[in-house]
Amino acid sequence: MNKKILIGTLIGVILFSFFGFWISGFFLFESPNELIIKKECDYEGLRKVVMYELNGNAVTNGAIHISASDCSENKIENSELIFTVSSSNIKISDVNFEWTSFDTLTIRYNKKLEIFKQKTESESVNPKIIFEYIAD
């Protein structure tokens, strides 16, 4: 009787271990990849605006982010997040931006997108950038 319990427990542990290895092959909660879509410095080369896409995974939708930083900054992590939108079927063409003057950036986006963050002016970038939004 003890031998049957020991063998059953051993088989259960082995099956549970195999299941753990098998399920770890799925990337349910992996951090999304960043794809830089557009990167532009202002007219004087002081400030930079970057638009990038974070692809979704099994539990999140894809999103497009726009961030601002000094023109010499190379890491997205060190930039100020300005605008974030998401949708289950988001396309790169749903969001675009352009410098309309020295201190104004116009951001055009599809009105069907869900907006998570929308700033009116920059806080950490000097000189400040004013953001105008147009929903198409």
Q: Sorting pLDDT into bands at 50, 70 and 90, what band is 28?
A: low
Q: Are 103 and 129 in contact (CB under 8 A)?
A: yes
Q: State how far the Cα of 41 lies from the Cα of 120, in Å rounded to an integer.
A: 19
Phi-psi region of 25 (alpha: psi -120 to 50; beta: other; left: phi over 0): alpha
In sequence order, what are the residues at sequence separation of 6 or more whose Cβ sits closer than 8 angstroms to the Cβ of residue 108?
95, 96, 97, 133, 134, 135, 136
- The pTM (predicted TM-score) of the whole model is 0.74
Residue 55 CA from chain centroid, whole number? 7
| Residues 47-97: tens digit of each pLDDT | 999 999 988 766 778 899 999 999 888 887 788 999 999 988 888 899 999
Q: What is the band of 26 on the pLDDT scale with cuts at 50, 70, 90? A: low
Percent of the chain with pLDDT over 70: 91
